[in-house]
Amino acid sequence: MADLDKTTLVPILEMMGYKTLNKTDIWKKPSDDPKEFVFWAVDFKNGDVFKWVEDHREYDAPDDPIFVELKNLVGSISVGEPIPESTPSNADQSKEKEYGKEESTSEEKASPAYQNNDTQPAAKPEEKPPQPSPAADKKSTPLLDLIHQYTGNDVLEVFGDTGSGKSKFAMTVAREAIASGKKVFYLDTERNLTEADVKDLKGCEYKYTPIIDEIDKIVQNLPKVDVVVIDSIGFPVLTTFARMSVKQKGDALLKLIAIFGDLKSWAYRNNGIVVVTNQPESEFNKDKDHILRPFGDKSQFAAKEIWKTEIVDRKPAYTNIRISAFRSRSVGHRTKIADMKITGNGVEVSA
């Protein structure tokens, strides 16, 4: 067997319930029946996939669906054997449509960009982005200053449980950026914004699509703006993850990593800020002491900063949320970054 791509395979194995003891080179998943001393494993040191039965290894078990699934996964993700994205097999094509791969292009399926701006014409494609200078800087805001203080021109990832204020934070960033004279591109993957919200973001280029392939194409062709907001990056994959084949799960996770890489490159080339919201990874098959990370595993390392939103207090009239550092290059884990209060009058973020 070819050398195994451990960096790519381990996150997928973890999601499938495989574990390793003492960080060895063997990742295994035991049988659900405690009476059976059987497990399936990947041996990265020897480049093998095997099934352990009682007291020996079996390297071929064609009648065992778990073994076959594992062997197919490992065989498709080996060093020097990248997963094909443009030429899926006939057997995979029907499954791919289950999680949103369509024959039509992104431009045909994604909702058109909503340029909510009747005073500022869009920049021509051939125009070069203006070079920043102290005298020409746009107005700033406390929230943008706070983000820039930690990330500079890079990627900020904000994750948390459902209802913990991630989208409210993202919308507040967009509103404040627009109010300060900056150009904003807002990609909504959950339909979190109502028509009234979109109209309220005067000057923001808004686009909606829940399809991960379309999101990938959009990110590769982002406009020349000052701030990019994506709400959220993990939702389109999470909603269909359980229905994906093993290969599709691997494809989706690799695509998330690639998207983050493209966002980081965009921020560098355009001297811009990217704010991405995300959901936590699944609690399934996790130890009770496991700290849930953002969904996407290795993709988190592309973000300069990762902040977490948590509800502190919720009343009929307001919701108080704490924004803390989950992974930061400046402060320790759980250090408070800011407080956010959501009321009927709007959102207030204070450091």
Distance CA 238, CA 279 (A): 9
C-beta separation of 338 from 146 below 8 A: yes
Largest CA distance in the chain: 75
pLDDT in tens, 104-132: 443 434 444 444 544 444 444 444 444 44
Domains of the chain, residue spans: 6-84, 106-350
Encoded amino acid at 3, one letter: D
Enter the pTM of the model. 0.63
Considering the four listed CATH numbers 3.40.50.300, 3.90.1580.10, 2.60.40.10, 3.40.50.880, the one that applies to the domain covering 106-350 is 3.40.50.300
Q: Is 204 exposed, middle or buried (0-12, 13-18, 19+ CB in 10 A)?
A: buried
Distance CA 261, CA 304 (A): 11
C-beta separation of 305 from 333 below 8 A: no
pLDDT in tens, 291-331: 777 776 666 677 899 999 999 999 999 999 999 999 898 89
Indicate the pLDDT class of residue 341, thresholds 50, 70 and 90.
Answer: very high
The rounded radius of gyration (Å) of the Cα atoms in the chain is 22
